[in-house]
Amino acid sequence: MADRVGVIDYGGGNLQNVLNVLKFLGHEGSLVSQEGDLDSVDRLLFPGVGSFGDCVEDLDRKQLRAPLEQWLKEDRPYFGICLGYQVLFEKSAESPGAKGLGFLDGEVVRFDDSHSLKIPHMGWNEVNPVDPEYYIWKEAPSPLHLYFVHSFYPQPSDPALISSTAEYGNSFASSIAQGNIFAGQFHPERSQDAGLKLISNFLNA
């Protein structure tokens, strides 16, 4: 039987895009809106559009924080997209005082606009895998271009977590990997065939 795939419903947009991608890839995703919903899924996708503070506030309101922390602690399959990447860390400059899941040490910072960069960073950018043999990157295009929309990005305290980098003014950690936990700042659901390949690799691992 195929793995059951849950999509975290954090109250933001783009959930339907992710569900549509799962269906296109032959998987029926289900929304995870309350603690009990996690009992019926084997893999988790956490998409994200919106602000860090609103996102974690919604997780707390739906009492999803503790079960999510337990899921991560047990190293169960997780793919975080954009905010689903950022909330793995302790805090974000976007929402001072808001508490992330704290699964990974580090913080989410804003792009330095002293480089005369357009913020948010929006559009296609090249993603450079640290280990191209890591299962998420298997058979992905090279060079790999994925779609981004963000003004903030995580800075992991442990560089060994970094699974890929990208350049925008400076090099930043465009994704991390630890065990069965993977998360990236890019939007694979908006990255055409390249993004579909990454999600497919996650679903079929």
Q: Does pLDDT of 63 surpass 60?
A: yes
Percentage with pLDDT > 70 across the chain: 97
Among 103, 106, 89, which residue's Cα sits nearest to residue 52?
Answer: 89
What is the chain's mean pLDDT, rounded?
94
Structural domain count, the chain: 1
What would the pLDDT profile of 34-50 be if each residue is shown by its tens digit? 989 999 999 999 998 88
Active-site residue list: 82, 187, 189
The residues near 150 (Cβ < 8 Å, ≥ 6 apart) are 82, 120, 121, 185
pLDDT tens for residues 1-44?
Answer: 567 999 999 877 678 889 999 999 999 899 999 989 999 999 99
What is the CATH classification number for the domain harbouring 139? 3.40.50.880
Q: Which domain holds residue 159?
A: 5-204
- 75, pLDDT greater than 80: yes
The arithmetic mean of pLDDT across residues 70-97, rounded, is 97
